[in-house]
């Protein structure tokens, strides 16, 4: 079972809308959870039409699927670091992190189940064993996997407290005016397109810092540091300021750069305090070939 709990702040908002935001689920799924009594408001069962006010505590309990057969698959993994408590994986573009409806094979989780079948944390349930944080299917780069619940909780707390280093590199459309800057704009579920996120009033706090690495022909190469970790954060924020990530077929222009097969976005560096040794560890990955080739073509 997955449990999400958050204190609501801001103006009045429908409970189902807030449940969508904190649990990253569709409006219909949120409505079903409310109907089934799996959402509480200040410790009491939330009504289907409940309205939230600032200071309300909302708890969402999402049950594990009743039937799910997660199959280990012998898929090669690019493991950057591994010990008894965790591992750091360099995920290729095109690989989904965990199984979901319509996509139950070929994921990172399937590969992890084969690599370390008896040592993955169970906090996120059978669908997401070991997964502490995610990156999109068409984003390449580093992510951390927990082998036990103690490590998972410790790492998740670092992410929540913004002490977990996450740096990305991206190529975005256009020429940014400033060499560096900060995008501080709340992100929530798109009001009309349920599978998309957007900068919206009343959304969850989201902060992205950027720095120009190179100005290209019609594009800019950026380093980005996440202060928060909202769904699609970098993609949404860059689109919001008019410089969508190159190749992004969701938040970018209608004419997509198909040769990129997705956004030109790479999770290049992560750093964290090891749950057991309490030493700070930091890992960096090389830019993948697709990224380097696009830089060359854009110079």
Q: Which pairs count as long-range contacts for 118-124, CB under 8 Å and 24+ apart, including other chains?
A: 119/84, 119/147, 119/148, 120/145, 120/146, 120/147, 121/146, 121/147, 121/148, 121/149, 121/151, 121/152, 122/149, 123/149, 123/152, 123/153, 123/156, 124/2, 124/152
Closest CA to 61 of 23, 99, 26: 23
Give the number of C-alpha atoms closer than 13 A to the C-alpha of residue 105, restricted to the C-beta side.
3
When computed from its CA atoms, the radius of gyration of the chain, rounded to whole angstroms, is 20
Three-state secondary structure call for residue 272: strand
Q: Distances from the Cα of 221 to the Cαs of 65, 180, 237, 292, in angstroms?
A: 42, 12, 15, 11
Three-state secondary structure call for residue 235: helix
Q: Is 136 a catalytic residue?
A: yes
Closest CA to 128 of 96, 83, 173, 91: 96
Of the candidates 136, 149, 248, 289, the residue annotated as catalytic is 136
Cα distance between residue 132 and residue 241, in whole Å: 29
Show which residues are catalytic.
Answer: 136
């Amino acid at each position: 079972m997955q449990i999400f709990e958050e204190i609501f702040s801001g103006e009045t908002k429908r409970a189902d809308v807030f449940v969508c935001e904190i649990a990253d689920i569709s409006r219909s799924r949120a409505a079903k959870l409310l109907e089934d009594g799996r959402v509480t408001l200040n410790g009491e069962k939330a009504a289907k039409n409940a309205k939230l006010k600032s200071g309300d505590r909302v708890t969402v309990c999402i049950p594990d699927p009743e039937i799910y057969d997660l199959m280990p698959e012998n898929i090669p993994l690019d493991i950057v670091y591994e010990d008894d408590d965790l591992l750091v994986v360099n995920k290729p573009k095109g690989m989904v992190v965990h199984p979901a409806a319509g996509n139950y094979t070929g994921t990172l989780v399937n590969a992890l189940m084969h690599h370390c079948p008896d040592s993955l944390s169970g906090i996120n349930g059978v669908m997401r064993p070991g997964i502490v944080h995610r990156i999109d299917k068409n984003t390449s780069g580093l992510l951390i996997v927990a082998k036990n619940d103690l490590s998972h909780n410790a790492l998740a707390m670092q992410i929540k407290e913004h002490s977990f280093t996450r740096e990305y590199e991206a190529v975005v459309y256009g020429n940014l005016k400033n060499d560096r800057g900060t995008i501080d704009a709340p992100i929530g579920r798109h009001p009309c397109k349920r599978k998309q996120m957007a900068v919206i009033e009343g959304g969850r706090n989201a902060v992205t810092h950027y720095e120009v690495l190179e100005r290209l022909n019609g594009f800019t190469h950026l380093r980005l540091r996440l202060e928060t970790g909202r769904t699609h954060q970098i993609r949404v924020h860059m689109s919001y300021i008019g410089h969508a990530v190159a190749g992004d077929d969701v938040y970018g222009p209608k004419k997509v750069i198909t040769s990129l097969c997705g956004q030109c976005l790479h999770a290049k560096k992560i750093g964290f305090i090891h749950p057991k040794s309490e030493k700070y560890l930091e890992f960096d990955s090389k830019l993948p070939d697709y990224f380097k080739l696009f830089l060359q073509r854009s110079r």
